[in-house]
Amino acid sequence: MKTAILKKLDVLRELVTDDRFDEVVNDALEYLLSYEQKKLESELEVTRQQLLSFEKQYDMNHREFVKQYESGELEDKKEYLEWFVLLSLEVSLENKLDLVNYVMDKETAAVV
């Protein structure tokens, strides 16, 4: 499925480059970006709630956890690995959301 989507995006890119672009395509892309923005915000909220749960459970903020985890001070626990992975996921989601927000803000500024 991912490959099919990428092929469709490549075709759209080529059509836009050839000036075969109209408002319907623009509106569809804005809708898709808005959809992804909401989805990322939701995923980020769930991830942050899970991270907060770990912080409360282990009475430790994420900075202290990472410091201890990376230095090997913590015992090997499945939960610690999950916490560490969630922190990586949070950063990834934030970066993706920043990218979508940047494109959406840039588009809004261009219209004004």
| Whether residue 112 has pLDDT greater than 60 | no
CB neighbourhood size of 83 (10 A): 23
Pick from 17, 23, 12, 41: nearest CA to 107:
23
SS3 labels along 27-51: HHHHHHHHHHHHHHHHHHHHHHHHH
DSSP state of 109: H
Pick from 107, 66, 96: nearest CA to 84:
66
How confident is the model over 28-41, as pLDDT tens digits?
999 999 999 999 99
The mean per-residue pLDDT over the stretch 78-102 comes to 97
Spans of all domains in the chain:
22-111
pTM score, two decimals? Answer: 0.83
